A = this chain, B = another copy of it.
Amino acid sequence: MISFSASANGMRGSEIRRLMALAADPSIISFAGGMPNNSLFPVADVDAIWNSMSQKAKQDAFQYSPTPGFPPLLKSLSEYLKSKKLPVDKSGLIITTGAQQAINLVAKVLVDPGDLVITEYPSFIGAVAAFKSYGADLRGVSMDAEGIIISELEKTLARASRKPKMLYINTHFHNPAGITYSMARKQALIDVLAKSNVVLLEDDPYSELYFDNADASRMTPIAAMAGADIPVCYAGSFSKIFGPGMRLGWLFGPREIVDKCELAKQSMDACSPAFTQALAHEYLVRGKLAPYLAFVRTAYARRARLMLDALRKNAPAGVSWTRPRGGFYVWVTMPESADATDVFNRAIAKGAAFVIGSAFDPEGKRNNCLRLAFSHTPEDRISEGVEIICEAMKAVLKAG
């Protein structure tokens, strides 16, 4: 009889995992996976990079990297972050094993069991799981088309019996909501947090994936706007701009927090893979990122258009959805009485899948929404898949 820790006793294989496993059947048209389609990866760039690296550079890629990161990548990544107006000279920076690890580390150094953590509703499933694994007490605050609703956030802050440890948000092309914070909402959020001194964890993996170049100027991270007003931890990722299989992300923010995260990382995985850090460094310094982004922005814009067109043509009355201007996701909202699991069961029987809304509710209650990812599905099957899901929604709404 194994005696597990309190944290392990709280973990279980969830309903979501069971549904995701069903969605992984290759005969299913799946909008479940929040990842790029394999055909979109910059394979030729890595071919060219690896084959022109010196023997010494290749050997370095086989070795441990220092815990904070492979020094050349820390330098090239700093240049990239400077171009986003982030206060690089005044902040800490470490390379992490995906942004998931950055989120996990911030939770580890801030959260004790029972501590209050505020997220948006809906929120990223991986962040919610990380916060729960440290025993956080979660509250979800609703969003509108411009971001978290400030009056709702103020109410939640006022009602809290003790100061929340952190607010976690996803600023641009939100996972799963598909929305982007307006510049005004970002500033309003800074103003509210400045009064409460809650740490902001800003997760920003999608901001490079805007469909319209005119939106580029709206992509300023809150971490670049906040100055010394509030402590902002900024988590980023190479997963959407290079490849998730590299397992590279970063944590940028106040030195005292990032230093603690580095200590925690040391005993978590010692360092992130030097092998893929070396490739990412070459990818940045050889100027491969900009042309790759131009390519994927077009590809994702086309996919989003196919999905939005199919929703417009097929969605039943009473259903609404977000119109993403970038990223991977459309968030579909049914009337409150409708259940996304019913829709899932009907849709998968006809050959299409998605992720049910309750997966993204930090409080695990609401299930009248669907997350549809257009990033991974073969382009020529998007319309057909959306039609199947719309038919399933119709049947559920009629039955209800």
Chain B residues lying within 8 Å of A7, measured Cβ to Cβ, are: 108-109, 112, 264
One digit per residue, 1 when the CB lies within 8 angstroms of any chain B CB and 0 when it does not, for chain A 91-108 equals 000001110110010001
Q: What's the nearest-Cβ distance from chain B to residue A22, in Å? A: 15
A266 at the interface (CB under 8 A from B): yes
Contact B244 A2 (CB under 8 A): no
Chain B residues lying within 8 Å of A43, measured Cβ to Cβ, are: 55, 58-59, 62
Contact A271 B247 (CB under 8 A): yes
Chain B residues lying within 8 Å of A126, measured Cβ to Cβ, are: 266-267, 270
Contact B5 A104 (CB under 8 A): no
A295 at the interface (CB under 8 A from B): no
Contact B104 A269 (CB under 8 A): yes
A187 at the interface (CB under 8 A from B): no
* CB contact under 8 A between A109 and B5, given known A61-B245, A64-B35: yes
Contact A130 B267 (CB under 8 A): yes
Q: What's the nearest-Cβ distance from chain B to residue A252, in Å? A: 16
Q: How far is the CA of A100 from the CA of B112 in the complex (A)?
A: 23
Taken together, the copies of this chain in the complex come to: 2
Which of A147-155, A176-184, A254-262, A356-364 makes up part of the contact surface?
A: A254-262
Contact A246 B275 (CB under 8 A): yes
A141 at the interface (CB under 8 A from B): no
Question: Residue among A12, A260, A273 with the most chain B CB within 10 A?
Answer: A273
Q: What's the nearest-Cβ distance from chain B to residue A155, in Å? A: 23
* CB contact under 8 A between A247 and B97, given known A267-B130, A273-B273, A276-B276: yes
A213 at the interface (CB under 8 A from B): no
Instruction: Classify the interface of chain A: helix, strand, loop or mixed.
Output: helix
Q: What's the nearest-Cβ distance from chain B to residue A243, in Å? A: 3
A251 at the interface (CB under 8 A from B): no
Q: What's the nearest-Cβ distance from chain B to residue A56, in Å? A: 8
Contact A266 B129 (CB under 8 A): yes
Q: How far is the CA of A132 from the CA of B110 in the complex (A)?
A: 17
Contact A97 B100 (CB under 8 A): no
Q: Could you list 25 examples of A-B contacts with CB < 8 Å?
A: A1-B197, A2-B254, A3-B165, A4-B109, A5-B112, A6-B112, A7-B112, A8-B110, A8-B260, A8-B263, A11-B264, A36-B62, A41-B59, A47-B51, A62-B245, A64-B239, A97-B97, A97-B247, A100-B269, A104-B267, A108-B133, A126-B267, A130-B267, A244-B274, A269-B269
